[in-house]
A and B are shown apart, each in its own frame.
Chain A
Amino acid sequence: MLISLAFRNIFLHKSKTLILGLVIAIGLFVLVVGNSFLDSATRGLESTYTSSFTGQLAVVPDLGDHLPMFTANPPPTDASILLPGFSGLIDFVEGLPEVHAVSPQLDARAAVQYQENPVAGTLIFAIDPGRYRKAFPDNLDVIHGSFLKPGQEGVLLSEAAWKALKAKGAPHEVGDPITLSSRNDIAGTKIRNVTLRGVVRFHSSNAFLSLISLSDAGTAQYLTGAAAALASLAAPSSPGEGTSAGASDLNPEVAFSEVGSLVNSSVSHHSALQELSDVLKTAGSAELPPVDAWTFLIVGLKDPRSLGKVSGEISSYLTAHKLDARVQDWIATAGPLAETAFTIKTIFNWLIVVVGLVALLIIMNTLAISVSERFPEIGTMRAIGAGREFVRALIIWETLLTTIMFGLLGIVLGVAAVGMLGIVGIHAPNEFLAVILGGSEFHPSISWIALAESLSMTVVVGLLASLYPVSLAVRIPPLRAIQAE
């Protein structure tokens, strides 16, 4: 009877019910659509990054903060960006039963050059080819040439860089030598000739990801100066000495670092540069001894749910062996690209909280007006024997029925809208949105978590909104039934 009475009262006060209903339905519609969009985008981002670039975890040198894989401002290139105790670390991580694959990586930002002029920029991921393919078996297509073989020198150029080379009439066939240059404040300018082994196109791509090229370890280690840094660590300088001659003997990188400085200081001197370039073409092509100079140890898990356990075990290993390194999740490895999406989601959630509070105030106010207009009716109920509990229950039921009915309407409309957009798809109009949405073509899907959150929010807002009107209603004295006359 109570529910029936509440239901009929809702329909009796049509205009107020409609005002409330619209606020609730619109709020829930926005909540469902917004959360589904953001959840789809973050799921897409996570899938894209973990299966193509970052794995679920990465072990990185501890520089005091997260170390992103994609960044416009790479950290200083010295020994601090190299993973300490690498050989023991990779053995340990590979031996964990929950780990599917590990892949070491070193990043280098480089320019592809032709006739001493930069043709295109590229972000080089130096990899161990065998481990990389095991970790990311299906993240890219080799559209020309073939994938790097273990121990093979060379580069798989990004499609964008390769097209730029081709457009300039530069050598661009598989097997052609190409020139890469890089410069940083510590290692100076580095130039290296390297064999073009192929052209890659990542399945998930955008303006940033389309810049990625893959290379053998030695190429990136040389371009960043990382190998030299490691060599200098391996043979510490005597007091009063500069860069160790011993290190130079051990590894040609040291010699190249000095040449790099020369290039840096003589960059405008064309004849000197040409001469230098000839030397480099010979030196850079030489086979380099393998060096354990890596920044990232990417970890792919058999089951993402074991992330916490594996992370803890690796952290314990790092602590036990006093290694200055840390474990970070895929978001930290992906860096600003992924963090932006999560920041937007956080901002959206706060906006929802604000909108929810405003909606709550509107609903509460409308209900309070409705109750104040029904003083005689409620007074009559009290006069003929209805207790405060009955009045309280009546108002709560009216509020809950209104919020649930219109909330469900908003949810159904939201689900329909997301379903339609999921089928049709949304084309990201710019690269920024493509990054946020996890691709240029976005197909949102219903987020069950968003639905559960929406339903919970409907009930919570309904109950909270009824608090003040209920307190008003239960204080109505039965005398108001007579005073209304």
Chain B
Amino acid sequence: MKLLRLLNVKKDYSLGKVTVPAIKGVSFDIEKGDFVSIAGPSGSGKSTILNMIGLIDVPTDGEIFLEERAIASLPDRELTRLRHETIGFIFQSFNLIPVLTVRENIEFPLLIGRDKKIGSERRGYVDRLIEEVGLADHERHKPNELSGGQRQRVAIARALVTKPRIVLADEPTANLDSATGTAIIELMKRINREMQTTFVFSTHDAKIVDLADHVLRLKDGLIVENTRAEA
């Protein structure tokens, strides 16, 4: 099943009177359970594509289908609901809420949805995520008491707590040392396999690209490589 489809998607940015084309027309599909890397040098359009897939930016032209549903013209309220229920985000700078503890940061997406209660089932799932990301001993810590790798683990758990169909990670290892970066990607890979959650992450680190089973390589706003690893 195609989870995501991009059809001739373009994105222009206006810089004063000048229009800069960031994405010049890309088309690709992402299947359920994919572990996708969007690779390319800085300025190639990786983040722009992730933003559009994540429904936080809109294409100038073309169409994006999420679970066969065109999303380009959806109103803000519907996009917000879709983001909450369908998509998980992992940011390069972690973007944790500084006043909340590890557990509270992970629970936060549950509390802003339509069903704000955290029952025993949800609590159990949060416990499991905390275990999965290896932060059981740190759940009462605030983000400023954690290392970069630990913060990114919190972000991964937060991205997964609503059981999204797809998790988007924009350069999730950029602010981490090499070993920690690799460990984070391996954690994501393990979750991908165990939970069948689709991951799409951008990176310009060749070593990390190799861990993906679907690689989209960008250059100057165009896809120059779209390869899937053999099953």
Contact = CB atoms under 8 A, between A and B. Distances in A.
A8 B100 contact: yes
Q: Which of B88, B111, B112, B158 has the most CB of A within 10 A?
A: B112
Interface stretch (A76-84, A321-329, A373-381, A442-450): A373-381
A139 B100 CA distance: 67
A383 B112 contact: no
A481 interface: yes
Contact of A482 (B56, B100, B112): B56
B91 A485 contact: yes
A114 B146 CA distance: 97
Given A385-B85, A482-B51, A8 B99 contact: yes
Contacts of A382: 56, 80
A388 B76 contact: yes
A380 B80 contact: no
Given A381-B112, A385-B162, A482 B91 contact: yes
Contact of B111 (A1, A377, A387): A1
Contacts of A167: none
Contacts of B88: 384
Given A1-B111, A9-B99, A383 B92 contact: no
B33 to A, nearest CB: 22
A478 interface: yes
A482 B48 CA distance: 10
A481 B83 CA distance: 14
Nearest to B97: A377
B83 A485 contact: no
B5 interface: no
A385 B84 contact: yes
Contact of A481 (B56, B109, B116, B158): B56
Interface in A290-314: none
Contact of A387 (B51, B109, B112, B116): B112
Given A482-B47, A482-B170, A387 B92 contact: no
A235 interface: no
Interface residues of B, number: 32
A390 interface: yes
A69 B159 CA distance: 80
Contact size range, A: 20 to 34
A484 interface: yes
Interface string A79-103: 0000000000000000000000000
A386 B56 CA distance: 12
Contacts of A478: 56, 83
Nearest to A376: B95
Interface string B45-65: 001000100101100000000
Nearest to A484: B93
B17 interface: no
A479 interface: yes
A72 interface: no
Nearest to B88: A384
Contact of A385 (B91, B92, B93, B113): B113
A399 to B, nearest CB: 16
B89 A479 contact: no
A380 B91 contact: yes
Given A383-B95, A386-B80, 7 more contacts: A1-B111, A8-B99, A385-B80, A385-B112, A385-B162, A387-B80, A481-B89
24 contacts: A1-B111, A5-B97, A8-B99, A12-B99, A376-B93, A376-B95, A377-B95, A377-B98, A380-B91, A381-B97, A382-B56, A383-B89, A384-B109, A384-B112, A385-B80, A387-B77, A388-B76, A478-B83, A481-B91, A481-B95, A482-B56, A482-B92, A485-B92, A485-B93
CB-CB nearest 7 A-B residue pairs: A385-B84, A8-B99, A478-B56, A380-B95, A386-B112, A485-B93, A1-B111
Interface of B: 47, 51, 54, 56-57, 76-77, 80-81, 83-85, 88-89, 91-93, 95, 97-100, 108-109, 111-113, 116, 158-159, 162, 170
